[in-house]
Structure 1
Amino acid sequence: MSTAKPEREYFLDSIRAYLMLLGVPFHVSLIYSMQKWAVNSQEPSLWLTLFNDFIHAFRMQVFFVISGYFSYMLYLRYQPQRFLKVRLERVGIPLLTAVPLITLPQFFMLKAWTQKLSNWDNFSLYEKFNNLMWELISHLWFLVVLVVLTTLGMLTFRWLRDQQRHIDYQRVGWGTVTLAVMAWALFWCVLRRLVFIFQPEWLMNGLFSIVIMLSLFYLPFFMLGALAWKHPPLKEMFTRFNPVMSLGAIVVFIAYYANQRFSSGEGWLYELDALISTLMGLCMLNVCFCFGHKMLNSHSPRIMYLVNASLFIYLVHHPLTLLYGIYITPYVHNNTLGFFLGLIMVFGLAFLLYEIHLRIPLLRFLFSGKPQNK
């Protein structure tokens, strides 16, 4: 256990905040993309489809690397039981708060005002339960995965802390990291294909898909962040510009877009998506860390405001986006105008709600998981 606090990594705070806030343009652009969602415009937009796919291709992989980095830092700072308590409170309390206050009302909104759950009365009891789980978890899935990975961290972080094998990380390059992470991605693909062959209904189960499959998919990124904390040469490699990784991000994104448009769910769409998304995550990890370290690695009150607001904004933006899509989108016939109008309205209302919640101590605690100072 270490009680000394290291120098604050401002650029990682900033990247994490911006990745969270990207959830707003991601979901607003989803209305206008070729992806089928609860609410869609009459005609999709090509550039907004590309924009939406690009955000989705890398955002959460980089986010979980940063989460693993800070989680391992806290694991070393506290006793393991204290670490688990602190992390589960920070993640679990906002998760449990958002279900009754955000996603449950959102479920009734979707059921009443969209066609997404139009056959609800004809669903079996299991189908109703499963659809309810999907909708209650909804855009909160990453918090569920963080709870799982944090709990697993009691084992994986202890193994990482106690391992005696000496590796010279000064000689570890992107090739080694890519091969190791891609090996795990290939294992994930084999596991998914076996489930698809023998128990395909499991993949339609919301709890299994999120708690098991998504947690396993993001586990190597989470541990990669922990490794970057333990071995500074690895973090230095992440923050050092690599032209191959930047060029790779472009090439891999083209493959991602092609897979999304031309593959089918009954074929190898999801396995290819896992392999491509893993590569895209690694390429954009270098891009985000490199440019973030150069441009965002300093204290800024405005950036810290966004860091503190980012989780709340992410939690409340989803129903606001759906309301915008239901009531405003049909009357705005230009997709580009509708997209930017949606950003203004959703961000504006979300920040207004954030300022209101700051003035209510109970809400501040529920949406942050932190005890509030008097």
Structure 2
Amino acid sequence: MDAGSARRPSARQHYWDTLRAALMLLGIPYHSALAFQAGGWIVATHRHAPVLDYVAEAIHLFRMPAFFLVAGYFAALSLTKYPPGGWFRARLTRLGIPFLASLVTIIPLLNIGCELSNFAPAQALESWRNLSLTSGGYWVRHLWFIIVLLYLCGATALAARIWPALRTAPLPEGIDRWAARRPLATLLLLGIAVGLFEAVTIELFYAAHLNTTLPQEILRLDDLLGALPWFVLGLALQRAPETLAAMGERRAGVAALAVAATALALAFYGHSWPPLYRFVGAGAAMLVTQVILSVARQSFDRASPVTDRLVRGSFVVYLFHVPVIVWLALVVDGVGLPPEIGFVVVACGTLAATLGIAALIERSPALSLLYSGTRGAARPRARRQVMTAVAAE
């Protein structure tokens, strides 16, 4: 056994699965708030509540940064168990098949709902046909996350293939111990570093007008720049057991700073220089991520039927939730509900509907392969639970 393996915990830490599922499920209130925000969204509603702009942005500040950190953690964990090539091929199956299936089934349904919110049926169909032929972003929509995750997994597998020691190499013990003993300083330094990286690289990307091309609408390289430092942090955290333990402790001071930093970011929202907002937002995301990581570890580090159901269904919920939100928002807006009530109805209805869809898909081997990249219904229950855990990693 190498030194890195000796320092890493061997027991499965269930809270990482729960945290990942929760971050995916947070897409429901996030996109439901966007449907009724004053600034408008892909579906045109007629009743708006400015407060929902801030609800959406508060979730957006930390949700995807935390998710990519979790993804990096699982990537590092999986590479200690599986060869890089085999692991990446499994990721291609797990992510690539649902991505392609969603492109030809879910995304067209989403887009036609968006067009019907703006035009009469004949005009909506013509606009849908035209944009389907000319806009890359029109096809990607919320699936950008899969594209970026495949970039990061592919780069990680390639690095581990070129430098095999990376599969098990721990973070240097001195750095691990220093960070564990100074968690607040570590969070602040990391927040500054990530904030500067995002502020500079993304601003340069936009300044060069690289975000205006058709290939970029599909490739989403600006999103890759935003996700990269968080994914790398997740890789490092999995190889730093003392820091991981320290970050799993609840800290009132960090929670207070997280609230303050989030409030500051929301005060800047829409009223500041974009690089400054990215810098402040990264700091807030770093602090909030520690808070939710500690809550997950303290409260959800155990297996349970409810969390197992949510974990198994979260990816399918992610794929289907945006079109369900769009169509429910159309109905709710037509009924004339106040936007705050409409937000609650759409969010709750979407959660119920997509969990139901996930349960139905899990019963069919063919649908499971298409929309979750697994054949869940084809295995005995005990075998399915083991393989679901492996695929998730």
TM-score by length of 2: 0.83
CA distance change for structure 1 residues 97 and 188 in 2, over 3 Å: closer, same or farther? same
CA distance change for structure 1 residues 42 and 189 in 2, over 3 Å: closer, same or farther? same
Give distance in 1, aligned partners of 2:188 and 2:89.
Answer: 33
Of the three residues 189, 192, 200, the one matched with 1:190 is 200
Q: Which residue is equivalent to 1:235?
A: 244
1:213-271 Cα distance to aligned partner (Å, 9 max, x none): 211221111111111111101211211123332122212212221222323xxxx22x2
Gapped regions of structure 1 (runs ≥ 5)? none
Give distance in 1, aligned partners of 2:132 and 2:368.
Answer: 33
Alignment of 1:43-54 (within 5 A): 43-54=47-58
1:103 deviates by 0.8
Would you say 1:145 and 2:187 are equivalent positions?
A: no
Would you say 1:363 and 2:357 are equivalent positions?
A: no
Paired residue type of 2:243: L
Q: Which residue is equivalent to 2:389?
A: none
What SS does the corresponding residue of 2:37 show, helix, strand or coil? coil
1:344 deviates by 3.0
Partners of 1:31 and 1:41 within 8 A in 2:
yes
Partners of 2:35 and 2:44 within 8 A in 1:
yes
What SS does the corresponding residue of 1:169 show, helix, strand or coil? helix
Would you say 1:154 and 2:157 are equivalent positions?
A: yes
Q: Which residue is equivalent to 1:254?
A: 263
> RMSD in angstroms over aligned alpha carbons?
2.9
Q: Which residue is equivalent to 2:216?
A: 208
Would you say 1:18 and 2:18 are equivalent positions?
A: no
Paired residue type of 2:216: F
Partners of 1:88 and 1:150 within 8 A in 2:
no
Alignment of 1:262-341 (within 5 A): 262-263=271-272, 268-269=273-274, 271-341=275-345
Would you say 1:245 and 2:245 are equivalent positions?
A: no
How many residue pairs get aligned? The number is 362
Paired residue type of 1:94: P
Would you say 1:34 and 2:38 are equivalent positions?
A: yes
Partners of 1:120 and 1:128 within 8 A in 2:
no
TM-score by length of 1: 0.86
Could you list the structure 1 runs, at least 4 aligned residues long, displaced by more than 6 angstroms after superposition.
118-123
Gapped regions of structure 2 (runs ≥ 5)? 380-393
1:283-306 Cα distance to aligned partner (Å, 9 max, x none): 111111111111111110111000
Q: Which residue is equivalent to 1:352?
A: 356
Of the three residues 164, 176, 181, the one matched with 1:169 is 176
1:120 deviates by 10
CA distance change for structure 1 residues 5 and 357 in 2, over 3 Å: closer, same or farther? farther
Paired residue type of 2:201: L
1:288-344 Cα distance to aligned partner (Å, 9 max, x none): 111111111111011100000111111111111111122322323322321222123
Paired residue type of 2:144: W
Paired residue type of 1:179: L
1:34 deviates by 2.5
Q: Which residue is equivalent to 1:179?
A: 189
Partners of 2:132 and 2:138 within 8 A in 1:
no
Give distance in 2, aligned partners of 1:195 and 1:365.
Answer: 36
CA distance change for structure 1 residues 347 and 180 in 2, over 3 Å: closer, same or farther? closer
CA distance change for structure 1 residues 128 and 86 in 2, over 3 Å: closer, same or farther? closer
1:165 deviates by 5.6
Q: What percentage of residue pairs aligned between the two structures are identical?
A: 23
